[in-house]
Amino acid sequence: TYTFHMADSKVTVEASFKLIETEPENPFTDISKSDYFYDAVLWAVDKGITSGTSANTFSPDASCTRAQMVTFLWRANGSPAPTAAVSPFADVSVGSYYYDAVLWAVEQGITSGTSTTTFSPEASCTRAQVATFLWRTESSPAVSGGASFADVADNTYYTNAVIWAANSGVTSGTSATTFSPDAVCTRAQIVTFLYRALA
């Protein structure tokens, strides 16, 4: 309630209100504010990108599969319906939670699978693959300069993606001189990459 003294002459009353944003509630017992991925996890849950591994766990250190990664990307982009109705991959079954996500990712040129007939949905997703998927989601923007990491050669499928990810602040690598492209990406790392690239 607001009160004011009414003047004898004509007056104009102007009011302004400041919206105070409240931080999303953390439903998970295995993440805390001190974690580098805290904001990314809450953002991912709030956007419906992931709901955790249970009602009260996120499992930040668990490895992420290729199916999970493309599903996260698909949801982050609004879960668009793919044009195709039939999967080109024998190991992607109709009715699987990632079916539409995989079809969409292929149509967008984000991935072509691990062969012409396989997607390997349960295979662990590497840091190189995650950087590449994100780079392609952004329409493979041009990059300048070479990779600043000793373990990223100049002629790999992920070279430009890693350069883009480093230049864009998506990741700073696993050290000042290493990216660890073949290391398995954890759930915490993946939602953090997504958050930095898309939020």
Q: Write the pLDDT tens digit of every residue in 134-162.
A: 999 999 999 988 888 999 999 999 999 99
Using CA atoms, how far apart are residues 82 and 64, in angstroms rounded to an integer? 23
β-bridge partners, 184 = 126
Using CA atoms, how far apart are residues 58 and 187, in angstroms rounded to an integer? 8
**Beta carbons within 8 Å of 92's beta carbon, 6+ residues apart:** 98, 99, 102, 119, 121
For residues 15-20, average pLDDT: 58
Using CA atoms, how far apart are residues 197 and 77, in angstroms rounded to an integer? 12
Q: Is the pLDDT of residue 126 over 90?
A: yes
pLDDT of 111 reads 92
Q: Residue 91 in contact with residue 121, Cβ under 8 Å?
A: yes
pLDDT of 146 reads 82
Q: Is the pLDDT of residue 70 over 80?
A: yes
